[in-house]
Amino acid sequence: MTGCLGNHPQFDAWISALITGHRRFRLFALLLAAGLHLSACTLPGSGVDVGGDLKLLYAPFSLSNPPKYWQYNHQTNASAPYSVALEWQDKDGKIALAARPAAGPFELGRRTNILVLASPYLSFDWQQNSTAQVGDVELVLGFRLQDQGDWRENDLGTGKPPTDHTVRIPVGNSQVTYGQWQREYFDLAGVYRRYWPDAPGDEVRLVWIGIASGKDKLAAVTSVTYLTQILLSR
């Protein structure tokens, strides 16, 4: 049968149409997948890098008047040589937050409402000076169980939201050389499974990402921890 139809004009036209249709279907599928990925990861007030990751800490903004969804609380230690616990600095060509916990307790955070399964990985860059220690600064993650039907992407509210679990991750590593940039990665899906091993993935959301002075640690007077490039990705 193949020999009979191999040179038939109608057969050639049918094959050409089939190939064209298949290509169009593949293009449609790719566009649909891209659209679903972006809709799952979109977050108001965040940037997107060339790889499609959500950048939550990517440009300097006023700490005295933070943008929407951000909140900054701090107390001043009158006896500290530094009056500012948190400020923007250009560190080795990177715009970073310089944290000096000895200047007073602080927490800077952003309210989010992200399905953990949509952006399961969190990464950030950090660097410490010679007097900084592990845990002088902590990354604060707030998780909440929330039915998918109750969530609206652009309705995040204001202030720090209530959470079911808060995880504080010490920044730093005593095994690395100070004065060099390091990058940390965390599997958010793995973190939530630790607390909700039986919960459906579409019910757990990351609702808060913050940077705070160590809760149970007294930092050295000259301790400085730099943080930048907080990213959420798949």
Q: Tell how far CA 24 is from the center of its chain.
A: 35
User: What's the whole-model pTM score?
Assistant: 0.74
Q: What is the pLDDT of residue 154?
A: 52
Q: Are 128 and 67 found together in one domain?
A: yes
Angle among Cα 119, 123, 127 to the nearest 5 degrees reads: 165
From the list 231, 56, 220, the residue with the least C-alpha distance to 134 is 220
**pLDDT one-digit tens code per residue, 67-102:** 888 999 999 887 777 778 999 999 999 999 999 999
How far apart (Å, rounded) are the C-alpha atoms in residues 12 and 6? 8
Q: Are 123 and 158 found together in one domain?
A: yes
Residue 205 has pLDDT above 70, yes or no: yes
Kindly state whether residue 171 falls inside one of the protein's structural domains: yes
Q: Are 30 and 77 found together in one domain?
A: no
Q: Are 117 and 7 found together in one domain?
A: no
Domain limits at 194?
A: 45-233
DSSP type of residue 162? P
**pLDDT one-digit tens code per residue, 30-58:** 222 333 333 334 455 554 443 445 777 76
Please give the share of the chain, as a percent, with pLDDT higher than 70.
72
